[in-house]
Amino acid sequence: MSKHHQILEYIESLPVGKKISVRSIAKTMDMSDGTAYRAIKEAEKEGLVSTIERVGTIRIESKKDRLIEQLTFEEVVNITDGEVYGGQVGLKQPLERFVIGAMTVEAMERYLIEHGIMIVGNRRDAQRKALENGMAVLITGGFEPDHDLIDLANLKGLPIIGTAYDSFTVASILNKAMMNQLIKKKVALVSDIYTPLKDTAVLYPDDTVKDYHHLSMTTGHSRFPVVHHDNRLIGIITAKDTVGKSNRTTLDRVITKDPAYTKMTSTVASVAHLMIWNSLELLPVVEDKLTLLGILSREDVMKAMQTSQRQPQNTNTVEELVMESLSNPQPDAMIYNYHVTPQMTSQMGTLSFGVLCEYVAIATHEQVFQSFTARSVIDEMSIHYFRMIQIDSDVRVKLGVLNTSRRAIRYDVDIFVNNELHAKGYVSVQLMDK
């Protein structure tokens, strides 16, 4: 085992709340400070420790991942409280599809695919058929597989799993997990698109305006993060900061200090709003104590949002449900029609307030794109109900421009059902492409 992994194992064995430091780890493990530092940073990424300002680095309870990056047979075991009887070597394989074995064996053949799992009760013939055709097996109802099927699963390297749940419950659990995974994959994070530090040009406070101009000419860029020599962010330097300044002026005298920044776990949508609202072209990406990890440009954000709009989806979010029911019979009149389906209602059978907000948001974005060929971010919205909107209603959203500026548009919103006013609202948006 490498020194790095030895330290990680040692940190993992420490009780929650134990304080550690580079010096204490290096002394305890009889290793260099550099090795200890790198291992502690890795432990922080894995959620084993957390660095708290003015307290230090503390062993914490391990965090679960924000999402299941890839749904594997191992994850199926976890979410169904299952037991693995055979084929353990295949647990890391990805799950792409599940099939409920509620048909004859002959009829199953067309549905048997690799990287899939057959959900089936106490049916030996169906279990064998799945394994023989490269499919894992999930046996429901608390039944156990026969020894010859376990041997076949081990031979094929395909997991054979048992669970006490019934087939319908298991199918519901897996369907929800797969839907959540698809939806979360659609959410782009800063960590997905940022430019890492090794590819980032930086300057230091004791550099001069002449150094800035040289770097700008070399890279073709005009904005750079300024960091201390320990890589801690202290500011941003742009072309306008150097106007009229002597080439000998040091950057610590002209930089924009305490700049806006973002973290790796921030969503691209939230960062887009921050950059538009504050007219930012560049955002430093930092970790705790403002240690610079890289940068994010306005161009990176725009590309990511355009890509996410083209990304195929196999499940329906609220936004997609609303889009499916959208019609725009009168673009010039800024009128958008929707139909209230059962999925859009609350337990009372009336239109959910959140879905109504989504109606207005999508109508607004569509109108901005039609009128200005620009994408938009909503920065303010208020909606007031006069009457509840029932299931199967045809809703008409009518927009009216209150005022416009170079970067912002404000709309008055009227919401009708059967030509009767049911709600009224106000929306303010910022333009992204301007």
CATH of the domain at 25: 1.10.10.10
Average pLDDT over residues 91-98: 84
Average pLDDT over residues 296-317: 64
Residue 413 included in any domain: yes
pTM of model > 0.75: no
- Statement to judge: residues 200 and 99 lie in one domain: no
* Confidence bin at 370 (pLDDT 50/70/90): confident
Query: For position 307, what pLDDT does the model report?
Result: 57
- Statement to judge: residues 150 and 116 lie in one domain: yes
Element (H, E) at 429: strand 420-431
- Statement to judge: residues 36 and 96 lie in one domain: no
Higher pLDDT, 376 or 428: 428
Measured from the Cβ of residue 406, the count of other Cβ atoms closer than 10 Å reads 6
Domain enclosing residue 246, as ranges = 191-302
Cα separations in angstroms, 165 against 86, 143, 159? 19, 10, 17
285 burial level (CB within 10 Å; 0-12, 13-18, 19+): buried
What is the distance between the alpha carbons of residues 147 and 429, in angstroms, rounded to a whole number? 64
Amino acid at position 194, single letter: Y
Query: Minimal CA–CA distance to 398: which of 328, 351, 339?
Result: 328
**The domain that contains 422 carries what CATH number?**
3.10.129.10
Query: Minimal CA–CA distance to 149: which of 177, 125, 181, 174?
Result: 125
CB-based contact 97:120 (threshold 8 Å): no
- Statement to judge: residues 167 and 80 lie in one domain: yes
Residue 136 included in any domain: yes
- Statement to judge: residues 276 and 366 lie in one domain: no
Query: For position 186, what pLDDT does the model report?
Result: 54
Residue 308 included in any domain: no
* Confidence bin at 422 (pLDDT 50/70/90): very high
- Statement to judge: residues 339 and 362 lie in one domain: yes
**Three-class DSSP labels, 300-361:** HHHHHHHHHHHCCCCCCCHHHHHHHCCEEEEHHHCEEEEECCHHHECCCCEECHHHHHHHHH
**The domain that contains 226 carries what CATH number?**
3.10.580.10
Query: For position 18, what pLDDT does the model report?
Result: 87
Residue 307 included in any domain: no
* Confidence bin at 158 (pLDDT 50/70/90): very high
Residue 310 included in any domain: no
Measured from the Cβ of residue 104, the count of other Cβ atoms closer than 10 Å reads 10
Query: Minimal CA–CA distance to 119: which of 67, 79, 68, 179?
Result: 79
Residue-wise pLDDT for 174-218, tens only, equals: 777 766 665 555 567 888 889 999 889 999 999 999 999 999 999
In the listed set 186, 203, 226, which residue is the last one of a domain according to the structure?
Answer: 186
* Confidence bin at 390 (pLDDT 50/70/90): confident
- Statement to judge: residues 374 and 281 lie in one domain: no
Domain count, the chain: 4
Share of the chain above pLDDT 70, in %: 88
Helices (H), 157-265: 167-186, 190-193, 209-219, 239-242
For tokens 């106490």, name the residue. Answer: 122
- Statement to judge: residues 217 and 296 lie in one domain: yes
DSSP 279: T
